[in-house]
Every structure is written in C-alpha cells, then in structure tokens.
Amino acid sequence: MEAFDQLKKLVAEAEEDLKKAEGGNKAAGTRVRGLMQDIKAAAQTIREKILELRDAGSAN
C-alpha cells in the first residue's frame, strides 16, 4: 500500500530530526513537530482506506 510506505518514510525522516532535537537543535524540533502532523494525516488516510476495504468486503 502506497500510503503505508509514505508513513514509513515520514517516520524515518522524523527519527533523524528527533535525534538532532534531543541534542538541542531547535530547528530540528520544529521540523519534527511538522512531520508529526504529516504522520498523523498519513495514519488517518490509512485508517480510512482500511475501513473502505472492510466495508467493501462486507457488502459482498
């Protein structure tokens, strides 16, 4: 699923910046917060697609 691959990519990007933010890099912290919003949106998209699959299967 393409959406899941996107979610994994976002998490990997956040991990890199999170390490920098833990070291005191404020700009990295800002990037992490933005990426967390993107991760939240990507997770919601996946949830919606899974529900669509479930509903399509129960219609049969």
Per-residue three-class SS string for 15-44: HHHHHHHHCCCHHHHHHHHHHHHHHHHHHH
pLDDT at 60: 59
Find all residues with CB under 8 Å of 45, minimum gap 6, and list them.
3
Give the C-alpha separation, 60 to 54, whole Å.
11
Give the C-alpha separation, 44 to 7, whole Å.
10
pLDDT at 30: 97
The number of domains in the chain is 1
pTM for this entry: 0.83
**pLDDT tens digits for range 11-44:** 999 999 999 999 999 999 999 999 999 999 999 9
Q: Find the domain containing 27 and state its range.
A: 2-58
